[in-house]
């Protein structure tokens, strides 16, 4: 199994020497309450760049590290962990997470273009699993309900509107967990880039103290898909982190240049 790679200040650095013999190197470890001190990667500095770890060709074992539905063989796994100052209630954070329309126009650093590029040209909430049922953004109560919610996104690297499923739930007074997956295949012209359910992620938001949030996300690409670029996935994940932290998505430097 390949060892993870960690990014903190925009440069990718190999951690082979640091992680030899460490069980934490084997897989991402979200900061569950019982595992808070063992989380990997650990949170980055407050209001600074998040820490990032990357794995290739990894088997995420059942039930390990409270990763929800992220189980099975993965072609690529990106874990991102950061801390930022934000609202003082879980309801306010849940409502911001559910503001799907505000993610339209987010930008990320494209390694291919060597420039900032729009990530989503369209993004809106749906009243059900049908891209024709556009509605207003999700409320905090909906994001905390544990019910399956759906949104539509048009990624500028794909052709069609993509249907995404979100399931958010309140774990306790300080914690929100959201799982996401692509419902429809993601295509470029007539080529399927990622089959249905190939892209899954879990987002964990913890209020560490009043007004200070920890964010830990694990994004995965299931095995059997096209080989995916690590830096692209890091920068896309960072674009959403910046959205949650309310900082410009195209603020220099990029996390993975």
Instruction: Name every residue whose Cβ is closer than 8 Å to that of residue 193 and which is 6 or more positions away in sequence.
Output: 158, 185, 186, 187, 225, 226
pLDDT along the chain (257 residues), means of 10: 52 33 62 73 94 92 65 91 94 97 97 95 96 96 97 93 96 92 92 92 94 95 78 95 96 95
User: In 3-state terms, the chain is what percent helix, strand and coil (to 5)?
Assistant: 20, 40, 40
Delineate the domains of the chain, giving CATH numbers in brackets. 5-245 (3.30.530.20)
**Are 168 and 94 a contacting pair, CB within 8 Å?**
yes
Nearest-angstrom CA–CA distance, 219 and 50: 14
What integer pLDDT is reported at residue 65 of this predicted model? Answer: 57
Sequence-ordered strand ranges (E) for 106-228: 107-110, 115-118, 120-126, 134-135, 145-155, 162-172, 175-182, 186-188, 191-194, 199-209, 212-222
Residue 38 CB partners (closer than 8 Å, separation 6+): 24, 29
């Amino acid at each position: 199994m390949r060892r993870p790679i960690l990014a903190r200040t925009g440069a990718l650095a190999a951690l082979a020497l640091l992680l030899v013999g460490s069980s934490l190197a084997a897989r991402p470890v979200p900061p569950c309450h019982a595992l808070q001190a063992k989380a990997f990667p650990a949170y980055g500095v407050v209001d600074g760049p998040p820490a990032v770890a990357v794995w290739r060709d990894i088997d995420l074992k059942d039930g390990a590290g409270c990763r929800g539905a992220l189980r099975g063989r993965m072609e690529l796994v990106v874990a991102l962990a950061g801390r930022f100052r934000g609202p003082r209630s879980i309801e306010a954070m849940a409502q911001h997470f559910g503001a799907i329309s505000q993610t339209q126009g987010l930008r990320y650093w494209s390694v291919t273009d060597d420039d900032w590029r729009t990530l989503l040209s369209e993004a809106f909430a749906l009243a059900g699993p049908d891209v024709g049922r556009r509605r207003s953004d999700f409320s905090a109560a909906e994001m905390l309900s544990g019910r399956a919610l759906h949104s539509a996104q048009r990624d500028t690297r794909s052709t069609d509107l993509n249907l995404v499923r979100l399931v958010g739930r309140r774990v306790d007074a300080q914690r929100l967990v959201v799982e996401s997956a692509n419902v429809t295949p993601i295509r470029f012209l007539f080529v399927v880039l990622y089959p249905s359910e190939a892209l899954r992620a879990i987002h964990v938001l913890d209020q560490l103290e009043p007004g200070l949030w920890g964010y830990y996300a694990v994004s995965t690409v299931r095995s059997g898909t096209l080989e995916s670029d690590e830096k692209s996935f890091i920068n896309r994940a960072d674009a959403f982190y910046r959205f949650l932290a309310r900082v410009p998505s195209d603020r220099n430097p990029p996390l993975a240049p």
